[in-house]
């Protein structure tokens, strides 16, 4: 019997998954095998992309939310000519390889987002669909006209983040988002019946999604294509295509078993499967199979070239378009950053609002939003709310959905064309931790605004008073954490965040803080720390962040009355200070001089910079903010006493 070309293409995908996982003795075989027909349909019949230019701006986006099935994606990237070699496939999951265990954006050409933690990819796809629709509404379908496709799994839909993201996507009416739900009904611990009885289709319909339940057609290429095509015709709602697959198909003994979720390495099982697939060699790719895949990989080149001509001929504001696409400011944008006179007093959250309002026009990709706390966090923009009817709005009402908000922002940033700014209270950064970590791992340019940064929150008490959050955020590699002392430091932090790559966090006060003398000079915050007062031969150095810098200034004045010379350092960003050379660091924090850190949070981590600490190493208390600060030791007397003790 002659097997037709497309069947051999599908079997080749399955064979590569078998062989790569076997070679690594690690990975997840079954989902990649079961979904090979779906991947084939998406990459050869449906999606518009150009493998030779994998990050062309108007390409369709593909997200593999169950990132453990990474061999499915790697197989397609190799076969369609994205630059992955057969040796890369053979080195699956090995040190330094281009095929790590889970897909990593920026590491492997053609990977759109870093996936693995379940639910994140689905929310990323929602963010990509939001970005596409927003940009299309601003710049027209001639420049922005593509779709987002995502594969999601049982595990993705169990995770709470998927509920948050799906609810918002339905409310926003994201008609160019199509998620294919791999309903294989198997998890690591056993069949899904041991953990859930959800009706996923009914749930998504209740969210406002268009749902296609196509049943037992996981190997029917035409049926899969038709269902995705029908979903693509729905312009006013996101779509969920529910596909009943059989994990590990066509393994003779392991289909629909938890074992197929993991690594199939049994030689007899693999050999029998290869016979079914018509494959005789490890990593076998027949010439005509590869030729057909490579043709699919370049089939979008004409569309890309046509898009490039339209962009070149476009009569709109190219400077604004380019600034959006790079998530950067227009030339000279930093001139719009406000400077605040010393002596005025602002909560740094309110200063943040003034800053983003001042730069919104010159940073045209800036799109703000919050988890139902827009005014409270200083993330409000004077613009329309983004909605299904007003997709051009630059203020997104995320609702109380912190975790999805973070992951959606990652998707927007990695899509390109927007600079997402998202806000909530600092204590709720814990609710979005998974997304924040992936921002840093992905180098996604997201600006997190976390206000109500200390026990200065006041009467809401310890549930709402952050203690350990700043330290835990500083522990994330690749995340710049700013805790500005005043309004000028807020503005300068924004100068860094807009011009730099990767994520930034603004840790802001609820309470008013004075604008201090000496904070207005450009470039200081970019160094991470600087001297507000650096007298000759200080006896002690006081290092503060945020609202506590003013305490350091006041303490230095009182110590001076007692004949003690104190230097004062503002350290808004540890990470940037660490980047400076030793000479600069020593000029700010003089070696051999006792140093005292002052921060209304845990002292954890401060031993790197100071030997003594004025801190809060317990949970907070319900009281007016000023009283809570004072009672928990963040007061002038304590700073003076700590400085005196450090000297002695």
Average pLDDT over residues 283-290: 98
333-514 and 528-647 share one fold: yes
- Half-sphere exposure at residue 115, Cβ-oriented, CA atoms within 13 angstroms: 31
Residue 420 sits at φ, ψ, to 5 deg, of -75, 135
Cβ-proximal residues to 113 (8 Å cutoff; 6+ apart), any chain: 63, 103, 105, 120, 121, 124, 410, 411, 414, 442
pTM of the shown model:
0.98
Distance set, CA 225 to CA 8, 74, 229, 232 (Å): 18, 21, 6, 10
Average pLDDT over residues 397-424: 98
Q: Is the pLDDT of residue 9 over 90?
A: yes
Q: Is the pLDDT of residue 124 over 50?
A: yes
Given pLDDT bands bounded at 50, 70 and 90, which one contains residue 2?
Answer: low
Q: What is the dihedral of CA 129, 131, 135, 138, to 10 degrees?
A: 100
Q: What is the pLDDT of residue 3?
A: 79
Average pLDDT over residues 389-410: 98
Average pLDDT over residues 483-489: 98
Query: Do 176 and 132 form a contact (C-beta atoms < 8 A)?
Result: yes
Per-residue model confidence as pLDDT tens digits over 453-473: 999 999 999 999 999 999 999
Average pLDDT over residues 239-256: 98
- Rounded CA-CA distance 353/346 in Å is 11
Query: Do 540 and 593 form a contact (C-beta atoms < 8 A)?
Result: yes
- Rounded CA-CA distance 18/27 in Å is 10
Q: Is the pLDDT of residue 152 over 60?
A: yes
- Rounded CA-CA distance 515/504 in Å is 22
Per-residue model confidence as pLDDT tens digits over 301-334: 999 999 999 999 999 999 999 999 999 999 999 9
- Rounded CA-CA distance 512/420 in Å is 26
Rounded to a whole number of angstroms, the CA Rg of the chain reads: 27
CATH class of 528-647: alpha beta
Q: Is the pLDDT of residue 591 over 90?
A: yes
Query: Do 172 and 166 form a contact (C-beta atoms < 8 A)?
Result: no
- Rounded CA-CA distance 248/264 in Å is 9
Tell me the percentage of the chain whose pLDDT exceeds 70.
100
Q: What is the pLDDT of residue 1?
A: 43
Token pair for 203: 């749930």
Q: What is the dihedral of CA 249, 252, 253, 257, to 10 degrees?
A: 10
Question: Annotated catalytic sites, by residue?
Answer: 402
Token pair for 299: 């089939």
Query: Do 614 and 580 form a contact (C-beta atoms < 8 A)?
Result: no
Cβ-proximal residues to 632 (8 Å cutoff; 6+ apart), any chain: 455, 600, 616, 618, 620, 621
Distance set, CA 275 to CA 15, 272, 282 (Å): 10, 5, 12
Residue found under tokens 């061999």: 71
10 Å Cβ neighbour count for 583? Answer: 7
Q: Which residues of 187-226 are buried (b: 16+ CB within 10 A; e: fewer)?
A: beeeebeeeeeeebbebbeebbbbbbebeebbbebebbbe
Q: Candidates 3.40.50.970, 3.30.1180.10, 3.50.50.60, 3.40.50.1370; correct CATH number of 5-302?
A: 3.40.50.970
Token pair for 15: 């064979």
**pLDDT averaged over every residue in the chain:** 97
Query: Do 349 and 506 form a contact (C-beta atoms < 8 A)?
Result: no
Cβ-proximal residues to 583 (8 Å cutoff; 6+ apart), any chain: none
Residue 149 sits at φ, ψ, to 5 deg, of -120, 140
- Rounded CA-CA distance 642/634 in Å is 11
Average pLDDT over residues 540-553: 98
Assign 3-class secondary structure to 563-630.
CCCEEEEECCCHHHHHCCCHHHHHHHCCCCCCEEEECCCCCCCHHHCCCEEECCCCCCCCCCHHHHHH
Cβ-proximal residues to 446 (8 Å cutoff; 6+ apart), any chain: 406, 409, 410, 412, 413, 420, 421, 422, 439, 503, 504
Token pair for 151: 């594969």
- Rounded CA-CA distance 46/94 in Å is 32
End-to-end distance of the chain based on CA atoms, in angstroms? 91
Architecture of the structural domain at 333-514: 3-Layer(aba) Sandwich (3.40)
Which residue ranges make up each domain of the chain? 5-302, 333-514, 528-647
């Amino acid at each position: 019997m002659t097997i037709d070309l497309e069947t051999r293409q599908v079997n080749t995908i399955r064979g590569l998954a078998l062989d790569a996982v076997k070679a690594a003795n690690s990975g997840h075989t079954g989902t990649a095998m079961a979904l090979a027909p779906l991947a084939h349909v998406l990459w050869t019949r449906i999606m518009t992309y150009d493998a030779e230019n994998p990050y062309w701006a108007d390409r369709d986006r593909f997200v593999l939310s169950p990132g453990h099935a990474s061999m499915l994606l790697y197989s397609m990237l190799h076969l369609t000519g994205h630059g992955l070699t057969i040796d890369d496939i053979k080195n699956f999951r090995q040190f330094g390889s281009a095929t790590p265990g889970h897909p990593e954006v920026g590491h492997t050409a053609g990977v759109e987002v870093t996936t693995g933690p379940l639910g994140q990819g689905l929310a990323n796809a929602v963010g990509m669909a939001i970005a596409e629709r927003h940009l299309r509404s601003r710049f027209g379908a001639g420049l922005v006209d593509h779709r987002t496709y995502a594969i999601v799994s049982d595990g993705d839909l169990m995770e709470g983040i998927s509920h948050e993201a799906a609810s918002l996507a339905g409310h926003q009416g994201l008609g160019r988002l199509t998620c294919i739900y791999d309903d294989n009904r198997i998890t690591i611990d056993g069949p899904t019946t041991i953990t859930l009885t959800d009706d996923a289709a009914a749930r998504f319909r209740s969210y406002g999604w268009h749902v296609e339940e196509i049943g037992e057609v996981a190997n029917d290429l035409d049926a899969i294509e038709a269902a995705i095509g029908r979903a693509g015709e729905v312009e006013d709602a996101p779509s969920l295509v529910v596909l009943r697959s059989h994990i590990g198909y066509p393994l003779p003994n392991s289909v629909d078993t938890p074992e197929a979720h993991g690594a199939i390495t049994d030689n007899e099982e693999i050999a029998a499967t290869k016979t079914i697939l018509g494959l005789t060699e490890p990593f076998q790719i027949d010439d005509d199979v590869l030729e057909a895949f490579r043709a699919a990989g370049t089939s979008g080149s004409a569309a890309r070239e046509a898009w490039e001509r339209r962009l070149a001929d476009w009569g709109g504001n190219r400077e604004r378009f380019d600034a959006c696409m790079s998530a950067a400011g227009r030339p000279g944008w930093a001139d719009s950053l406000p400077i605040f006179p010393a002596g005025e007093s602002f909560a740094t959250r309110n200063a943040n609002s003034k800053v983003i309002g001042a730069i919104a026009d010159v940073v045209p990709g800036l799109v703000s939003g919050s988890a139902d706390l827009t005014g409270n966090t200083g993330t409000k923009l004077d613009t329309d709310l983004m909605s299904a009817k007003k997709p051009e709005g630059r203020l997104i009402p995320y609702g109380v959905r912190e975790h999805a908000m973070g992951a959606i922002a990652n998707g927007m940033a990695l899509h390109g064309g927007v600079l997402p700014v998202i806000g909530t209270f600092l204590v709720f950064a814990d609710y979005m931790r998974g997304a924040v970590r992936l921002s840093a791992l992905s180098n996604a340019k997201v600006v997190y605004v976390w206000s109500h940064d200390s026990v200065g929150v006041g009467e809401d008490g310890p549930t709402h008073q952050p203690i350990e959050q700043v330290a835990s955020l500083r522990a994330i590699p690749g995340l710049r954490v700013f805790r500005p002392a005043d309004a000028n430091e807020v503005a300068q932090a924004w100068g860094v965040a807009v011009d730099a790559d990767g994520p930034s966090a603004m840790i802001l006060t609820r309470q008013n803080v004075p604008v201090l003398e000496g904070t207005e000079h450009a470039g200081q915050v970019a160094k991470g720390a600087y001297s507000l007062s650096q007298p000759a031969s200080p006896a002690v150095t006081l290092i503060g962040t945020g609202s506590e810098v003013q305490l350091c200034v006041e303490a230095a004045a009182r110590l001076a009355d007692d004949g003690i010379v104190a230097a004062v350092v503002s350290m808004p960003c540890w990470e940037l200070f660490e980047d400076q050379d030793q000479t600069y660091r020593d000029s700010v924090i003089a070696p051999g001089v006792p140093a005292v850190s002052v921060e209304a949070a845990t002292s954890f981590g401060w031993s790197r910079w100071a030997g003594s600490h004025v801190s809060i190493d317990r949970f907070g208390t319900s009281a007016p903010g000023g009283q809570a600060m004072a009672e928990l030791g963040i007061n002038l007397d304590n700073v003076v006493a700590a400085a005196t003790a450090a000297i002695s």
